[in-house]
Structure formats: structure tokens, C-alpha cells
Amino acid sequence: MRTQVVIIGSGPSGLLLGQLLHRAGIDTVVLERKSRDYVLSRVRAGVLEQGTVGLIEEAGVGARMRREGLVHDGFEIAFAGERHRVAITELTGGRSVMVYGQTEVTRDLMDGRDASGAPTVYEAEDVALHDFDGPSPRVTWRKDGVTHELVCDAIAGCDGYHGVSRASVPAGAIRTFERVYPFGWLGVLADVPPCAPELIYAAHDRGFALCSMRSTTRSRYYVQCPVDERIEDWSDDRFWDELRSRLGPEAAVAVTTGPSIEKSVAPLRSFVAEPMRFGRLFLAGDAAHIVPPTGAKGLNLAASDVRYLSDALIEHVRDGSEAALDRYSARALARVWKAERFSWWMTTMLHRFPEDEGFTARIKRAELDYLFSSRAALASLAENYVGLPY
Ligand code: APR
Ligand code: PHB
């Protein structure tokens, strides 16, 4: 069997790429290790940059997002007992972000793919990449005990941080950069109204906290915790108490508590693999890079990779040119590293690190004081938050 592009992974990267290529008349097959329901059960971040919103629209699956998504033109940072607003729309000349869960984006993309008739193989086992250093790469997998093979022009490795694509590249051809943070995020999803109309990022001596939302009736909250924290040790009551203790009195009293519908601990990591292209294999999204969740750049970076990769593949198929494919890795990485910097900076400024005593504690406090005393500093934060241009 043959197709033009084999896409490994049906997360947001793979599905968005599939839709953009389909609309350009390029055939794809998506191979996914898990079931559709499993992919849709994962709870992830929920803030979309305007560029990501535009791509979802371009992919033809923006209708529900437009109806149900919440447009935000600001967010808050709470520290030293006070709340401060970052007026992102005013600071960026009219840009905003959209609060709409990644799970919903994935569902809309899956529905769009089904409607277009493009094939997805779920529960594909032992996916393996072959010959991507030559002109005719192949991908093999097993399904229900039968081995299958597809020959293609290009492979898109959209299979996340633990995927097979990056792992298939010879060690000498790839260089990785990594920072692991000495804490995690304990997240709770609950069907309660959010405590404020906009997101609140809180820097507190007890650690970071974040008030986010999925809708006007569903809240997503996080508190910084040790990475090896046992979820069993966190009753809902303990979580709500810890959250409120970090928010300051005004936001704390506005928190509506209720039973959690999801509770999990996520580690925080910065990671980049270079380059993002190996012959006819192209990495995109979490397969190539990870950001800590502060600032919600993960999905948005996946989207910008897909913008560059779809443009390159479309140009290649249309003109037979190699030039766009040759540019992909450098173009994508230039934006990736800026988002890595921003996510690292937000994480460092707002979290409590073990070494935050004395000098570093004072520097972090000065950084926050400076931020809210300088329009230039706030504009820089806002410009990154809404997303740098493609
Ligand atoms: N074979 C096939 N599929 C695989 C394999 C494999 N060997 N390994 C992983 N996958 C699948 C995973 O099951 C998952 O559904 O690849 C998909 C990768 O999806 P994501 O992890 O969501 O990565 P990506 O699409 O790049 O999305 C990036 O989503 O995951 C968040 O934090 C991430 O917000 C970021 C964004
Ligand atoms: C979320 O809603 O899950 C979320 C929002 C903003 C962030 C991180 C996560 O910076």
C-alpha cells in the first residue's frame, strides 16, 4: 500500500497536519497507538493563541470553538497579597487568546477527519519507521495480529515525547537539550464556576497556583507540588485548602469547591531535539520539544510546527521543490526556542524553587515589581502570551 504522507500519532499535531494536508489534496494515513477514547480522555491545557485559532479555522473545524470558546483579553498575576492584571489585548494592539480545551480541539479534529473520509488506524501496535534516509520511506505496524506496510513520500513524527519517531533517529544525528524542574503540578478539574472571569497565575511562598477554566461552569486549578507527590494523599478538601492558601483572600473566597472529576500530577520539563528533520522524517509537536505548562505554549507550539510543515509539504508536492522541506527545521526551531525561553521565564518567575532563599527570593520579587511598574515589560509578557508571529 502507498500514501503520500504517513502521520504517526493522533494528538493535536498529527490531526491538524492531516486536515491541512487533506484540504490541499494530499493523502495521509494516521497511525495511533491508543484507542480514540483513550486519546480523548487525556486532560491537557486550554489556552489557544490567535494563530492557533486561525489554523483550526483553516483546517475547517472551527465552528464549535467559535461557539463555545471564551475569548480572553487579559489575565492576572497574584503575588504579595495583591492581584495585578495583564491587559493583553490593550498591550498587543488588539490580540487575544481563546480558552478552549485541548481535548475539545482534538475531538473537533477527529470529527473533521472522519467527515473527510481520511483513514486513521487506532490501536496500531509496534509502529516502525524504515528507510527515511532515502526517497521511499516505509512504515510498518501490527493490528489484530496482522502486519501492515505503507510506502510514502514523507513521514510526520507527531507521536509526542514518548513516541517512536524521535527514538528511530540514529543517536549521532540528533542533539537534545533538557531542563527538568524540581516540582510538578497537581491539577484538578471540577464542574464549578471559575473563581474569576480571567485566569489567575499566583506566586506564593507556599508555591505557585493557577486558576484556569474550560467553560463558565467547569474550572481547572493547579498547585505546585513535589514531583513524587502521591495523588492518594490529596483529598479534594486538602486540594481546595492548599489552593486557597496561595491565592490571597479576595480570590480565595471566590473559589467554589466541588467534587473533582479529574486529579493528576504532571512533571515540568523543558526539552528540545535538534534538528526536526531527518531525510524524509519530520518531527512536530511534543515529539520534538516539551515546555513546562506555565503560559500554555505546548499545543500552540505544536500548531506552529504544523503551520510550517504543512506549508513545506504542500509546496513540495505542488512544485517538487526541496527548498521548503530544507527550511522546515530551522524555521520551526527559531519559534520553538523563543517559546522555550518564555515558558522557562514564566516558570522561574512564578514558582518556588528549593534554592529560593535570600538573594534569589528578592530578585524574583523585584522582577514581579518591575513587571507591573513598566509598560514595556508588560508589553513583552503580553506579546509572548498571545503568541509570537509565525
Ligand atoms: N505509535 C503510534 N502512536 C503513538 C506512538 C507510537 N509508537 N507513541 C505515541 N503515539 C501517540 C500518542 O498515543 C498520542 O496520541 O501519539 C500521540 C501524540 O499526541 P500528543 O502527546 O498530544 O502530542 P502532540 O500532538 O504533539 O500535541 C502537543 O498536546 O500533548 C499535548 O502537552 C502537549 O500541549 C501539547 C500538545
Ligand atoms: C489550563 O487551563 O490547563 C492551563 C491554562 C494556562 C496555563 C496552563 C494550563 O498557563
Amino acid identity, position 71 = V
> Which protein residue's CA is at the shortest distance from atom 7 of ligand 2?
296
Q: Please state which of the four CATH numbers 3.50.50.60, 3.30.1330.10, 1.10.3720.10, 3.40.50.1000 is assigned to the domain occupying 5-70+97-177+269-347.
A: 3.50.50.60
Of 286, 268, 304, 300, residue with least CA distance to 385: 300
Amino acid identity, position 57 = E
The 10s digit of each residue's pLDDT in 49-106 is 999 999 999 999 999 999 999 999 999 999 999 999 999 999 999 999 999 999 999 9
Q: Is the preceding peptide bond at 275 cis, omega within 30 degrees of 0? A: yes
Name beta bridge partners: 263: 188
Of 317, 292, 236, residue with least CA distance to 24: 317
Q: 137, 130 in Cβ contact below 8 A?
A: yes
Phi and psi at 182, nearest 5°, equal: -85, 40
* Ligand 1 site, residue 91, Cβ cutoff 6 A: no
Q: Which residues contact 61 (CB under 8 A, 6 or more apart)?
A: 19, 108, 109, 111, 112
Q: Beta strands 175-190 and 260-274: pairing type?
A: antiparallel
Long-range pairs, 78-84, Cβ under 8 A, ≥24:
78/200, 78/201, 78/202, 78/203, 78/204, 78/247, 78/248, 78/251, 79/202, 79/203, 79/204, 79/365, 79/368, 80/365, 80/368, 81/248, 81/249, 82/248, 83/200, 83/248, 83/250, 83/251, 84/372
Q: How far is CA 322 from the centre of its chain?
A: 29
* Ligand 1 site, residue 12, Cβ cutoff 6 A: yes
Q: Which residues contact 71 (CB under 8 A, 6 or more apart)?
A: 96, 97, 98, 99
The kind and range of the H/E element at 47 are: strand 47-48
128, HSE (Cβ side, Cα atoms, 13 Å): 10
Q: Which residues contact 236 (CB under 8 A, 6 or more apart)?
A: 188, 257, 259, 260, 263
Burial of 259 (0-12, 13-18, 19+ CB in 10 A): exposed
* Ligand 1 site, residue 10, Cβ cutoff 6 A: yes
pLDDT at position 266 is: 96
Report the distance separating Cα 158 and Cα 59, nearest Å: 17
Catalytic residues: 72, 201, 293, 297, 385
199 C-alpha to ligand 2 centroid (Å): 8
Q: 83, 200 in Cβ contact below 8 A?
A: yes
> Which protein residue's CA is at the shortest distance from atom 10 of ligand 2?
295
- For the CA of 212, the nearest atom of ligand 2: 2
137 C-alpha to ligand 2 centroid (Å): 38
Q: Which three cell numbers stand for residue 356?
A: 529560593
Burial of 28 (0-12, 13-18, 19+ CB in 10 A): buried
Ligand 2 shell residues, CB under 6 Å: 45-47, 199, 210, 212, 220, 293-296
- For the CA of 214, the nearest atom of ligand 2: 2
* Ligand 1 site, residue 18, Cβ cutoff 6 A: no
34 C-alpha to ligand 1 centroid (Å): 10
200 C-alpha to ligand 1 centroid (Å): 28
Q: Which three cell numbers stand for residue 142?
A: 501490527
Question: Where are the domains positioned within the chain?
Answer: 5-70+97-177+269-347
* Ligand 1 site, residue 13, Cβ cutoff 6 A: yes
- CA dihedral of residues 368, 89, 302, 78 (deg, nearest 10): 30
* Ligand 1 site, residue 292, Cβ cutoff 6 A: no
pLDDT at position 43 is: 85
pLDDT at position 84 is: 98
Query: Which residue positions in the chain have pLDDT lower than 50?
Result: none
* Ligand 1 site, residue 127, Cβ cutoff 6 A: yes
> Which protein residue's CA is at the shortest distance from atom 29 of ligand 1?
299
End-to-end CA distance of the chain: 35
Q: 71, 362 in Cβ contact below 8 A?
A: no
267 C-alpha to ligand 2 centroid (Å): 14
- For the CA of 284, the nearest atom of ligand 1: 26
- pTM of the complete model: 0.97
**Minimum-distance ligand to the CA of 10?**
1
- For the CA of 201, the nearest atom of ligand 2: 10
* Ligand 1 site, residue 46, Cβ cutoff 6 A: no
Phi and psi at 108, nearest 5°, equal: -65, -40
pLDDT at position 138 is: 98
Q: 313, 18 in Cβ contact below 8 A?
A: no
